[in-house]
């Protein structure tokens, strides 16, 4: 997810907004989450989330919940959200 953090005036302020999103997603949904781009930009962030499941439907449901969680954060504008799927070859 590509985010805009308009109120952030420093990297410290940005971390204060991004960290609760990442920690909240990890604990609430039991997924992997990290900032994957724009680490040195005050008002931009790209977050990556990873989900593993035996069912594509379960992965989609979890990612839907994660997106709603991020969209609900005050002071955060979601610029883009995209998904990439990896499937095991049998």
pLDDT in tens, 24-74: 999 999 999 999 999 999 999 999 999 999 889 999 999 999 999 999 999
pLDDT of residue 88: 75
Please determine, for residue 17, whether its predicted confidence score (pLDDT) is greater than 70.
Answer: yes
CATH class of 2-80: alpha beta
3 state DSSP class of 77: strand
Rounded to 10 degrees, the C-alpha dihedral 4/6/11/12 comes to -120
Please determine, for residue 19, whether its predicted confidence score (pLDDT) is greater than 70.
Answer: yes
Give which of 90, 84, 87, 77 is closest to 2, Cα–Cα.
Answer: 77
Q: Which residues of 11-23 are buried (b: 16+ CB within 10 A; e: fewer)?
A: eeebeebbeebbe
Please determine, for residue 89, whether its predicted confidence score (pLDDT) is greater than 90.
Answer: no
pLDDT of residue 90: 63
């Amino acid at each position: 997810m590509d985010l805009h953090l308009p109120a952030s005036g420093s990297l410290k302020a940005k971390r204060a907004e991004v960290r609760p999103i990442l920690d909240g997603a990890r604990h609430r949904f039991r997924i992997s989450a990290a900032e994957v781009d724009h680490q040195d930009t005050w008002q931009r962030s790209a977050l990556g989330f990873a989900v593993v499941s035996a069912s594509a439907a379960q992965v989609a449901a979890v990612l839907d919940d994660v997106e709603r969680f991020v969209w609900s954060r005050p002071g955060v504008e979601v610029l883009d959200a995209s998904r990439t799927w990896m499937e095991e070859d049998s």
